[in-house]
Structure 1
Amino acid sequence: MHPFRTAVENRDEAAIEALLAEDVVFTSPIAFKPYPGKAVTAAILRAVMRVLEDFTYVREIADPGGRDHALVFTATVDGKRIQGCDFLHLDEDGLIDDFTVMVRPLSAAQALAAAMGAQFDRIALEASEASEAAGA
């Protein structure tokens, strides 16, 4: 089992963040442009943990080299069942440097977009504070 999966299943925010490379790029299923950087990616993942209910990984797929992983999940958002996949790529140090999420069906993706939109100000504040702390 990949350590990221274990961290998510344990809802261990510190462990999740520790697995992210500083230059990680997060590609959202609901935003047009990717989000670069550890601070914003960690803030987004914390928000996801707040809005998705009954989150469960149901399958894990890895390439033979161990640098690419697909973690299939199910969850509920605003009463809608969602199915998705986290695609992770690991850098030479074993840290996540590329994180892409895809979800279905459309109605659940729209519910996720609305729920995450309501978290946007908090995500921006957390990312800003983390960036400032890292620079200090």
Structure 2
Amino acid sequence: MRAFRAAVEAHDMDAVEALLAEDVVFTSPVVFKPYRGRAVTAAILRAVERVFENFRYERAIGDPDGRDHALVFTARVGDRELGGCDFLHLDEDGRIDELTVMVRPLSGAQALQAAMAAQFDRVTEEAREDRTPSAG
């Protein structure tokens, strides 16, 4: 999905949030239970943006006009290099209703888990704030 990729690459987290469906389901690479809802997903993505260093998308996989997309990325967390993929599914309105992230290797996933755990209080606080993009 070009709009999501462009927003992430521009570090425009408000634009990223605007692309999320209200009932989006986010599946983390380091937590078993999925997160549900725009507010918590946006807060998690803001934290990821703070934690990842040298993040870049390498390529997109899928039909540009379809509803399923995969964006392959590389990043660093602390001293760990990692590779991963964002799997996106769009609803009928073109908003992201499913976002699944996978990362490798295990040492990179562990570094990501530790870094995100340090962000947990801020994520919880941001998820409670009303950051919903206004319509108009």
CA change 1:12–1:71 in 2 (3 A) is same
Q: Structure 1: any 5+ residue segments left out of the alignment?
A: none
Alignment RMSD = 1.7
Deviations 1:51-72 (CA, angstroms, capped at 9, x unpaired): 0000000010123751000000
Distance 2:116 2:57 in 1: 20
SS of equivalent residue, structure 2 residue 129 = helix
CA change 1:64–1:47 in 2 (3 A) is closer
Displacement after TM superposition at 1:79 (Å): 1.0
Deviations 1:35-64 (CA, angstroms, capped at 9, x unpaired): 000000000000000000000000101237
One-letter amino acid of the counterpart of residue 121, structure 1? D
Distance 1:115 1:124 in 2: 15
Query: Number of aligned pairs?
Result: 133
Matching of residue 5 in structure 1 with residue 5 in structure 2: yes
SS of equivalent residue, structure 1 residue 58 = strand
Residue of structure 1 equivalent to 2:66: 66
Q: TM-score with structure 1 length normalisation?
A: 0.93
SS of equivalent residue, structure 1 residue 113 = helix
CA change 1:3–1:131 in 2 (3 A) is closer
Q: Following TM superposition, where does structure 1 have runs of at least 4 consecutive aligned residues deviating by more than 3 angstroms?
A: none
Residue of structure 1 equivalent to 2:42: 42
* Percent identity over paired residues: 69
Matching of residue 99 in structure 1 with residue 70 in structure 2: no
CA change 1:64–1:10 in 2 (3 A) is closer
Residue of structure 1 equivalent to 2:53: 53
One-letter amino acid of the counterpart of residue 90, structure 2? L
Residue of structure 1 equivalent to 2:116: 116
Q: Structure 2: any 5+ residue segments left out of the alignment?
A: none
CA change 1:126–1:104 in 2 (3 A) is same
SS of equivalent residue, structure 1 residue 69 = strand
Distance 2:41 2:64 in 1: 26
Residue of structure 2 equivalent to 1:16: 16
Q: TM-score with structure 2 length normalisation?
A: 0.93
Bigger drift between 16-25 and 62-71 goes to 62-71
One-letter amino acid of the counterpart of residue 85, structure 1? C
